[in-house]
Amino acid sequence: MEVAAQIANDAGGSNDTDDLGLATLPADKGENPDFGFLPTSLTQQCQSLIESYHELHGYACLPNILWKSRLGPFIETHQELRQLLRKASTTRSAKKSNEGFARIATTILSLEILASSFAGWSAIYPQAGSRAQVILRRNSRSPQMPLMDFYLYPPKYLSTAAIATLIPPAGHPASEAALPV
């Protein structure tokens, strides 16, 4: 499923990445920009990254990631993302809910990658990169890219479960803790 194409089709737009048509579209289309300008190859790679992460760690944490990243106001100001959020939040199908939250995360991660020029994406798609910067700058309270930080630069933390398994058993004398020679 092409995320950018699906979002663009939901809004009645197209996803022609060869001719982005950004010269004719104002950078600020109110509060509801068409996300069809996102390169298909980028959105596919972002979707693959997000799906592979959540196949390992579960999709239940995805809404929490979006919430803790303080992306709620950003999602609420964009009609397409708001509609996806509403559908994902109210559907009774876990699969459809997961797909909806993954589409939201894919769109935002794609915007962040374009706006930050990660791996040269904005050099390849300069008009799309500048448009992503305008969208994020207009709706951002901080210069951080929360989903890039989460998915591309995961936090290094101590796992309490791992620490618990490495604690030596109680009642052993200190002399047993020495390594054998």
Give the C-alpha separation, 62 to 24, whole Å: 35
CA distance 39 to 130: 13
Per residue in 123-165, pLDDT (tens digit) is 888 999 889 888 888 766 556 788 888 888 776 665 565 556 5
Please tell me the distance from the alpha carbon of residue 34 to that of residue 171, in angstroms, as a whole number: 65
Give pLDDT tens digits for 5-14: 444 444 333 3
DSSP summary character for residue 155: -
More confident residue, 30 or 173: 173
The Cα-based distances of 140 to 63, 71, 110, 112, 134 in angstroms read 19, 9, 15, 11, 10
Q: Which two tokens stand for residue 172?
A: 């052993």
Rg, Å, the chain Cα set: 21
Q: What is the mean pLDDT of residues 4-25?
A: 39
Contacts of 22 (CB under 8 A, 6+ apart): 37, 127, 128, 131
CB atoms within 10 A of CB 124: 14
For residues 79-95, give the mean pLDDT. 89
- Check the CA dihedral 149-150-154-155 and report its sign: positive
Q: Look at residue 87 in the predicted model and tell me its pLDDT.
A: 92
Q: What is the pLDDT of residue 148?
A: 86
Q: Are 112 and 148 in contact (CB under 8 A)?
A: yes
- Of residues 113 and 18, which shows the higher confidence score? 113
Query: Is residue 65 pLDDT above 90, yes or no?
Result: no
- Higher-scoring residue by pLDDT: 4, 109: 109
pLDDT of residue 96: 92
Q: What is the mean pLDDT of the chain?
A: 74
From the CB of residue 32, how many other CB atoms can be counted at a distance below 10 Å? 13
- Look up the pTM and report it: 0.68
Using pLDDT thresholds of 50, 70 and 90, give the confidence band for residue 51: very high
